[in-house]
Amino acid sequence: MADLIDSETIAHVAELAGAAREASRRLALLSRADKDAALLAMADALDLASGEIIVANDLDIVRGRAAGLTEGLLDRLRLDRPRVEAVADALRDIAGLPDPVGEVVRGSTLANGLQIRQVRVPMGVVAMIYEARPNVTVDAAGLALKSGNAVVLRGGSAASSSNRALVEVLRSALQSQGLPAGAISLLDEGGRDAVRALMTARGLVDVLIPRGGADLIQTVVRESTVPVIETGVGNCHVYVDAAADLDKALAIAVNSKTHRVGVCNAAESLLVHRGIAAAFLPRVLAALGSAGVTVHGDAELELAAKEAGAEYSLATDDDFAREYLSLDISARVVESLDEALAHVRQYSTGHTEAIVTEDRGAARRWVAEVDAAAVMVNASTRFTDGGEFGFGAEIGISTQKLHARGPMGLAELTSTKWVVEGDGQIRQ
C-alpha cells in the first residue's frame, strides 16, 4: 500500500510521527505534578480562547449545513461556549485523576527471592482517526498526556477549522509549560493518502484508534498495519420486560433515544414484552412522537403508532440493524425474554444493551447472556461514557475484546512491563 502513497505525504506523516516519538520519551518521564500542571494550563487556555474557537467552529457548521449534514451530525459538530467550557473542565477532571503510569498491576516474591511486579507504562505514540466531534480532539490530547503518551490526531474534514483552532491552543499551552509541542499533532492535510500513511506508520505509531462510523472503523481495521483498538458503532437496544416498572421504562426509553441522538450510546431499537405492550406502547409511542421520533416497526405496531401520533414506517431487517444517529428508532413486540435476547444477538453491535425490569432473575439472565461492552439494568444507555463512568473523559468506546472493552480512559492507554529485581540469582 505504501508504494501507492505520494512520497511527500509519507514524509510529512513520518515527520509528525517522529516528532511525537521524541515527545513521547519526554512525556513518559514526567511526574504527575508536571502532567497535571500542563493539563490545567491547557484548560485555562481553552477558556481564554473560546471566542476564537467558536468562530472557527461556526465555519465548520456553515460548511456542514451546506453539505447537507443532518441535524444530529451538526449537533455532534457544534461548539458553543458551554461546550468549550465543558471540554476545558474535562481536562481539569483528568488532572484530578490518579496517574496510571507506574501503577503496580500485580507482583510477588518468588521462592528464589526474585521480586517481580507488572507496572503500567505509556503506549508511546497513539494515533486517532475520527469524525465530526471536535471535543474528541481535546479529550484525546488530555488523556494521552496524563497517561504519558504523545498523540497524532486526524479529525474529519467536517471539523477541520475547529480542530486546527483547538490544537493550536493546546500546543501553545504545552510550550508555555516547557513541554514539546510535538506531544499533540494534527494531521490536517494530505487527504486519503495521509490517512493511509498514518495507518501504515508501523514503528513510528504504537497504536491506532479509529472513532466514527462503521465504514471508517472497518477501513482502518482492514488496512492498517499499525495495531488497532477497534471502537464500534452503537445499535443499542432498550428491552422493556414483562416485569418492568412502566414509569421507569418510559423515562429510560425516551432518554436513551432523545437525550442526544447523534452519539453512539443513543438507543436505536426498542423491544417491548407482549405482556405489558397494551399498557406501555401507547405511552412510549406518544412520548417518542412528541419528541419528533419516527418509529420503524413491524405491522403490529402501525396502528398503535398512528393512534399515539408518532410518525411510523414499516421496518426491514436493515432498519433493525441500523445505527440511525437521528430521531428514528426501530421497535417491535417480543413474546419473551428469550426472544428479546435472540433479537439482540442478531442485531447488536456489542456496544450497550439495556433491560428494564423488576425481576432480578430476568436481570441476571440479561447481564449473563448479552454480549456487549456495557449492559444496563434499569438505566439509560446514555450512561456508557467515560465521563459518566468517572474516567474524566474517554478516547473512545471499544467493542472488541482484546486489551480494552467499553469506555477507554487512562488505564486503557497504557501497556505494562515486568520489572524483576534480584540479588545475583541465576537460572538453574
pLDDT of 103 reads 97
- pLDDT of 308 > 90? The answer is no
CB 91 within 8 A of CB 42: yes
- pLDDT of 393 > 80? The answer is no
pLDDT of 3 reads 53
Over residues 201-220, the pLDDT tens digits come to 999 999 999 988 888 888 99
pLDDT of 271 reads 98
Question: Which CATH number does 236-383 carry?
Answer: 3.40.309.10
pLDDT of 132 reads 67
- Can you give the C-alpha Rg of the chain in angstroms? 24
Q: What is the mean pLDDT of residues 191-207?
A: 94
Sequence-separated (6 or more) residues with CB below 8 Å from residue 8: none
HEC sequence for the chain: CHHHCCHHHHHHHHHHHHHHHHHHHHHCCCCHHHHHHHHHHHHHHHHHCHHHHHHHHHHHHHHHHHCCCCHHHHHHHCCCHHHHHHHHHHHHHHHCCCCCCCCEEEEEECCCCCEEEEEEEECCEEEEEECCCCHHHHHHHHHHHHCCCEEEEECCHHHHHHHHHHHHHHHHHHHHCCCCHHHEEECCCCHHHHHHHHHCCECCECEEEEECCHHHHHHHHHHCCCCECCECCCCEEEEECCCCCHHHHHHHHHHHHHCCCCCCCCEEEEEEEHHHHHHHHHHHHHHHHHCCCEEEECHHHHHHHHHHCCEEEECCHHHHHCCCCCCEEEEEEECCHHHHHHHHHHHCCCCEEEEECCCHHHHHHHHHHCCCCEEEECCCHHHCCCCCCCCCCCCCEECCCCCCCEECCCHHHEEEEEEEECCCCCCC
Q: What is the mean pLDDT of residues 12-21?
A: 95
- If pLDDT is split at 50, 70 and 90, which confidence band does 63 have? very high
pLDDT of 44 reads 98
Q: Which CATH architecture has domain 2-229+408-421?
A: 3-Layer(aba) Sandwich (3.40)
pLDDT of 306 reads 85
Phi, psi angle pair for 126, to nearest 5°: -105, 130
Over residues 66-110, the pLDDT tens digits come to 999 888 789 889 999 999 999 999 999 999 999 999 999 999 999
pLDDT of 2 reads 46
User: Any idea where the domains of the chain sit in the sequence?
Assistant: 2-229+408-421, 236-383
pLDDT of 1 reads 46
Over residues 332-381, the pLDDT tens digits come to 999 999 999 999 999 999 999 999 999 999 999 999 999 999 999 999 99
Task: Write down the residue that cell numbers 436493515 correspond to.
Answer: 318
pLDDT of 76 reads 84
% of the chain exceeding 90 in pLDDT: 82
In 3D space, the residue among 359, 358, 356, 362 whose CA is nearest the CA of residue 377 turns out to be: 356
Confirm whether 2-229+408-421 and 236-383 share one CATH topology: no
pLDDT of 371 reads 97
